[in-house]
Structure 1
Amino acid sequence: MKYLFFLFAACATITVSAQDQTVKNLRSSTERNIAKDASDTTAKKWKKGGLYGINISQGSLNNWAAGGDDFSLSVNSVLSLFAFYKNGKHNWDNTLDFNLGYVNTTSLGSRKNDDRFDILSKYGYEIAPKLNIAGLVNFRTQFFDGFTYDGDNNKTFSSTFLSPGYLLTSVGLDYKPVEGLSIFVSPITSRWIFVMDDTLSAKGLYGVDSSKHSANEIGAFASISYIKDINKILSYKGRLDLFSNYKKNPQNVDLTMSNVLNIKLSKVLSATYSLDLIYDDDVRLFGKNKTSAGLQVKSLIGIGLLLKF
């Protein structure tokens, strides 16, 4: 009987010990960190970001023998956003640029020196490595009244919101040889020009007939865009658009080019240089009689706040 009791006690002890070890194993399993399998990698479908920069400069003079304006103030800001989508053979690129500048001096008074709103959306489907068949939509205008000035500082009302405005739709091929570079070419593109202000419409400006508010052009289009962080300090964004109107003077190619170079000075301070070039054969506001087309050039440089996100 003693042997039987001893055997029963030994079995019970072994069973309890086994159960206790099982509980410990379960607890250990639930408490341990779960490491992600190295093969479980999911590529991001969206790449989004942008920057906002503002440069402010102010100066004043009093009894200054060298001469100059008693007071000057300049403010320039730029907002640039992008959202790029990539999933399999599908690509969708979106960019938005909004520039606004203001200058005030004693001799010239107040006027804007920059005003541009530009949004572009491009969808592509890959048909070969680095080559897509793509559709593109681009809208461009300004927000505030613009004026041209003669040698006597007399101003003439020349532009405002949707006067002019440009809406472009295009289908073509989009080649992306390296990251950040896109070369889009289309042999058939439709571009609408809007002049919604009645005063400007009556003058027949920007290729829209007098007293009409819109005109359509059919032509060839090419767009080259490049976004690159050169290093931790330098970054560049540029775009070149070319359009040839089949209906009128196709040899006179319209050109729109923007360049922005940022030099990082600290976490929030940077030096910015921008260069914009525009040639539009329909914009005949220059020359002796204000009837000639001309290359428009805008160059700005400044140091100020730069936020990247």
Structure 2
Amino acid sequence: MKKNYCFWFCKTFLIVFTVVIYNNVSAQDQTVKDMLAKAMKEIKKEKIDSGKAWKTGGLFNLNLGQGSQSNWAAGGDDFSLSIASYLGFYSFYKKDKYSWDNTIDFNYGLVNTTSLGTRKNDDRIDLLSKFGYALSPKLDAAALFNFHSQFSKGYNYKSDGTKDLLSDFLAPAYLLVSFGLNYKPVKGLSIFVSPVTSRWTIVNNDTLSAKGTYGVTPGKKVKNVLGAFASMTYLTDLNKTITYNGRLDLFSNYEHNPQKVDVMMNNIFTAKLSRLLTASLSLSLIYDDDVKLFGPNHDSPALQLKSLLAAGLGVKL
């Protein structure tokens, strides 16, 4: 800190000295003017950068859709209403060789129709925290923590009107602690790789845990495994109005079928239509060999896909 003050003092002294000489010289030397302007910009930049170790912010999106009809010959539901919401916060710390990146995302959506009633079409909680120590300008030794779950119960709706419980709050929930290397080859791209990762699967619902859903031992609510983990995130502006935010997580369980890698991928394209209006397209893919809820007998794993196209209110926090 003392070095910075000395540096700023020396620069300020040189600037004042230059100004005095400049004011006592009748000829207006453009070179002296340029040097003065450049020095002032550098001092301002250093003062601003030195006080911004933390960068925080967030985003809130609310998208609505509504439809109605009466005596419509083509048929369909008389009324439909859909609501999709997103709330995200970030907090990034960077000083000297230390960095700490934190993000938390909440997604929740509902669809209501006269024939089907109310059902959720999106439900996610995701917390990611990553601490790094710089080994080089583009490579960090890092520790990562991730928590993933949902807010409310989810069901498999059958054609006969009945439904089966598939999920609940903390059922499942995934808690992951990982140590490895974080590589940042270009702006916006981060690649984290770890050979030492501990992952807990939590099923805090008696009905689901009794069935051994999500890979836990029947009757147990927590399962811990050791494996390898990789996470890639990419955030970029495709043009002046469209941004892309993507994340891919890969996990291999050392203890059981390590060749069957769990995959979780989220992609979001956001277009800014005006100061408050946005349009977004999201695509999510999940494959987990322990989630055996699909197929004719609902006992097989499968690739899970979900997409959502929406437009509505978007506010930066």
User: In the TM superposition, what is the alpha-carbon distance from 1:237 to its structure 2 partner?
Assistant: 1.2
Letter in 2 for 1:145: K
1:48 equivalenced with 2:56 (yes/no) = yes
Task: Report the equivalent of 1:22.
Answer: none
Task: Report the equivalent of 2:83.
Answer: 75
1:127 equivalenced with 2:135 (yes/no) = yes
Q: Retained in 2: the 8 A contact 1:108–1:153?
A: no
1:64 equivalenced with 2:72 (yes/no) = yes
Letter in 2 for 1:113: N
Report which stretch shifted further, 292-301 or 143-152: 143-152
2:76 match: secondary structure: coil
Tell me, in whole angstroms, the C-alpha distance in 1 between the residues paired with 2:283 and 2:159: 24
Tell me, in whole angstroms, the C-alpha distance in 2 between the residues paired with 1:308 and 1:240: 25
1:279 equivalenced with 2:287 (yes/no) = yes
Task: Report the equivalent of 1:85.
Answer: 93
Task: Report the equivalent of 2:267.
Answer: 259
User: In the TM superposition, what is the alpha-carbon distance from 1:94 to its structure 2 partner?
Assistant: 0.7
Task: Report the equivalent of 1:301.
Answer: 309
Tell me, in whole angstroms, the C-alpha distance in 2 between the residues paired with 1:149 and 1:130: 48
Task: Report the equivalent of 1:143.
Answer: 151
Task: Report the equivalent of 1:182.
Answer: 190
Task: Report the equivalent of 1:218.
Answer: 226
Task: Report the equivalent of 1:113.
Answer: 121
Task: Report the equivalent of 1:228.
Answer: 236
Per-residue CA deviations over 1:168-193 (Å, capped at 9, x if unaligned) read 00000000112221100001100000
Change beyond 3 A, Cα 1:220–1:112: same
User: In the TM superposition, what is the alpha-carbon distance from 1:97 to its structure 2 partner?
Assistant: 0.8
2:207 match: secondary structure: helix
1:98 equivalenced with 2:106 (yes/no) = yes
1:159 equivalenced with 2:178 (yes/no) = no
User: In the TM superposition, what is the alpha-carbon distance from 1:238 to its structure 2 partner?
Assistant: 1.2
Tell me, in whole angstroms, the C-alpha distance in 2 between the residues paired with 1:152 and 1:275: 30
User: In the TM superposition, what is the alpha-carbon distance from 1:153 to its structure 2 partner?
Assistant: 4.2
Tell me, in whole angstroms, the C-alpha distance in 1 between the residues paired with 2:73 and 2:136: 67
Task: Report the equivalent of 1:169.
Answer: 177
Tell me, in whole angstroms, the C-alpha distance in 2 between the residues paired with 1:283 and 1:58: 34
User: In the TM superposition, what is the alpha-carbon distance from 1:91 to its structure 2 partner?
Assistant: 1.1
Letter in 2 for 1:171: F
Q: Retained in 2: the 8 A contact 1:195–1:208?
A: yes
Per-residue CA deviations over 1:25-46 (Å, capped at 9, x if unaligned) read xxxxxxxxxx994443141212
Q: Retained in 2: the 8 A contact 1:181–1:225?
A: yes
Which residue, 243, 249, 254 being the options, matches 1:241? 249
Task: Report the equivalent of 1:204.
Answer: 212
Letter in 2 for 1:62: S
2:213 match: secondary structure: coil
Tell me, in whole angstroms, the C-alpha distance in 1 between the residues paired with 2:90 and 2:236: 13
Percent identity, aligned pairs only, is: 59
Q: Which has the larger radius of gyration?
A: 1
Letter in 2 for 1:126: A
Tell me, in whole angstroms, the C-alpha distance in 2 between the residues paired with 1:48 and 1:153: 47
Tell me, in whole angstroms, the C-alpha distance in 2 between the residues paired with 1:148 and 1:166: 21
Q: TM-score, normalised by structure 2?
A: 0.84
Aligned-residue CA RMSD in angstroms?
Answer: 1.4
Letter in 1 for 2:152: F
1:86 match: secondary structure: strand
Per-residue CA deviations over 1:44-87 (Å, capped at 9, x if unaligned) read 21222221101100111111111111111100001122111111
Tell me, in whole angstroms, the C-alpha distance in 1 between the residues paired with 2:42 and 2:294: 63
Runs of 4+ in 1 over 6 A off after TM superposition: none
Tell me, in whole angstroms, the C-alpha distance in 2 between the residues paired with 1:95 and 1:153: 39
Task: Report the equivalent of 1:28.
Answer: none
Tell me, in whole angstroms, the C-alpha distance in 1 between the residues paired with 2:290 and 2:161: 25
